[in-house]
Structure 1
Amino acid sequence: MGSQREISQRDLRMRSKEILDAVERGDSFTVTREGHPIGELVPLLRRRHFVSRADFSRASQSAPMVDAAAFRADQDAAYDQALSDPYTR
């Protein structure tokens, strides 16, 4: 990530496209008002969307086995099975 620079509120207002483009490239900024820091503009962390077959297979090998009957029993115990009118007072 790039170094963090200070920009004034006025600069942010006047050069928002240029500054946000820089944030998108990885730069960070401290926004100031009357010389006092009031916030930071930092890029969002990007999450990986694609998981390769090999990664999925490797992760699946260490995953615990799921007992379907026990899972269903846990769900039934946690959820109120009675039907009720939510508008009844």
Structure 2
Amino acid sequence: MSTPEPDPSHQISQRDLRNRSAEIMDGLERGERYAVTRNGHHIGDLVPIRRRRRAVSRAEFAAVSRGMPRLDDRKYREDMDHHVNDDLYDPYDRAYGRGEFAQDDE
């Protein structure tokens, strides 16, 4: 899901951001978006956070996932076995050089 580009009229410089921060934060609370520039170059966007997450209905989820390829359980398991190292060890053993991580003092 892409975010809409900030309105070009809401282009602010780094200096504006520093000097007018309260005004800009108020704008963010109203849902305004800002494009931030430094030396005339676009360096980032200030966008308001989404206040509420919207639950996806079962029908909407089904519609979106209808075009997805079917998961091959066997292939998925092979990929996981190949790419995931599931060797269990105590991280403190590694940190303190114990067990299989012990240094031989021979």
TM range (shorter): 0.5 to 0.7
1:15 aligns with 2:20: yes
Q: Which runs of 5+ in 2 are unaligned?
A: 1-5, 95-100
Among 40, 44, 47, which residue is 2:47 paired with?
A: 44
1:69 aligns with 2:74: yes
Residues 39-89 of structure 1, C-alpha deviations (whole Å, 9 max, x = no match): 666332767943232221112222222122221122112223555676226
- Under a length normalisation based on structure 1, what TM-score does the superposition of the two structures give? 0.54
Among 77, 84, 99, which residue is 1:79 paired with?
A: 84
Letter in 2 for 1:78: H
Among 55, 63, 74, which residue is 2:60 paired with?
A: 55
- Maintained 8 Å contact 2:28/2:48: no
Aligned equivalents of 1:82 and 1:7: distance in 2? 51
- Under a length normalisation based on structure 2, what TM-score does the superposition of the two structures give? 0.49
CA spacing shift, 1:45–1:53, aligned 2, 3 Å: farther
Higher relative contact order (CA 8 A, sep 6+): 1
Query: Relative to total residues, which structure has the larger helix share, 1 or 2?
Result: 2
Q: How many pairs does the alignment contain?
A: 85
SS in 2 for 1:42: strand
Letter in 1 for 2:65: S
Q: CA RMSD in A?
A: 3.7
Q: Which runs of 5+ in 1 are unaligned?
A: none
